[in-house]
Amino acid sequence: MDTRLLRYFAAVAEEGSLTGAAQRLFVSQPALTKQIRRLEDDLGVRLFTRSRSGMVLTEPGRAFASRVSPLLDGWDEAVRATGRAARVLRLGFLDAGAVGVVPEVITAFRRARPEWRVELRQFDWSDPSAGLAWGEVDAAVVRLPFPGQDSFAVQEFFAEERGVLLPARHALATRETVDFRELWDEPFVAAGAETGAWRDHWLGAEDRDDEHPVRVGAVTSRPDEWLGAVAGGNVALAPASAARFYAHPDVVFRPVRGLSPTRVGLARPRRRGREQGQGRDAVLDELVRAVARRLSGGP
């Protein structure tokens, strides 16, 4: 049994709707529906019925739900125990501009703690939590805001100006700086709708007026797709560091006036008081503090 199917089921059962569960899980509603049907096929029973108020558990669904939570808790503890035994710390990130000097910090940490292995894992933009939402990493360098942020402990490090990626042949590409209002009618490259506030931030929704809704020209989740969509005639908001880390012969980066900055921070699961400073968590605290010292100085 794929544990993700169990997590999909648990989210729908807890939220009572496919829409709420899809937003929580960073997946599209059709994809979530398909996975719930797959689970029902595997079990040979109907777990939910649809109603005007949302998704209602059937009697077999209620019996299953009562057992899924402790099952997932047991699995998560087994994974954590394995990590403790292997002495592995996993750190997620989304883009090179945000992660900055973290590889240097990890190198120094390995010298100081040779018995521990640190893995740096990159995730695509379909999961703005950089692996935290699925328990795939112990901590993550993230762009704020991201969906589900309130359920994690987040330490903000620095703010970075946002600009725009333009097709090289675009009329505004010859400018040194672009006013954000000049971009309002352009087709934008967007992340998937399931990424919620994170998608809105990278469409500049908070810096527009109501008379100029966003035009979405393409939806992507990876840097190569993102640059290709811009080269194909769309525009995309990007952190200033994108000019250093992402290059395409048919794409240019320009600073933008009238646009709020992006914020970078480190997120990790919240811990209960009794867990503070113990064993593996103490070592993770040490790594997090080292990352914080370096990242707080900016990109």
User: Can you state the angle between helices 279-295 and 102-112, rounded to 10 degrees?
Assistant: 140
Looking at residue 280, what is its pLDDT? 76
- Structural domains of the chain in order of their starting residue, each with its CATH number: 3-81 (1.10.10.10), 88-158+263-295 (3.40.190.10), 162-260 (3.40.190.10)
- The number of angstroms, rounded, from the C-alpha of 143 to the middle of its chain's C-alpha atoms is 8
- pLDDT confidence tier of residue 45, bands split at 50, 70 and 90: very high
DSSP secondary-structure letter at 101?
T
Six-digit token pair at 280?
A: 């593996």
- What's the rounded Cα separation, in Å, for the pair 203 and 197? 10
pLDDT in tens, 153-208: 998 888 999 999 999 999 999 999 999 999 999 999 999 888 888 899 999 999 99
- pLDDT confidence tier of residue 274, bands split at 50, 70 and 90: very low
Tell me: pLDDT of 299 over 60: no
Question: Residue 113, exposed/middle/buried by CB under 10 A (0-12, 13-18, 19+)?
Answer: middle
- The number of angstroms, rounded, from the C-alpha of 137 to the middle of its chain's C-alpha atoms is 12
- Cα pseudo-dihedral 137, 271, 71, 121, rounded to 10: 0
- What's the rounded Cα separation, in Å, for the pair 205 and 193? 13
The dihedral through the CA atoms of 270, 272, 277, 283 has a sign that is negative
- What's the rounded Cα separation, in Å, for the pair 121 and 138? 11
List C-alpha distances in Å: 285 to 89, 248, 269: 11, 38, 12
pLDDT in tens, 196-251: 888 999 999 999 988 888 999 999 988 899 999 999 999 999 999 998 888 899 99
pLDDT in tens, 77-90: 787 777 667 788 89
Looking at residue 93, what is its pLDDT? 93
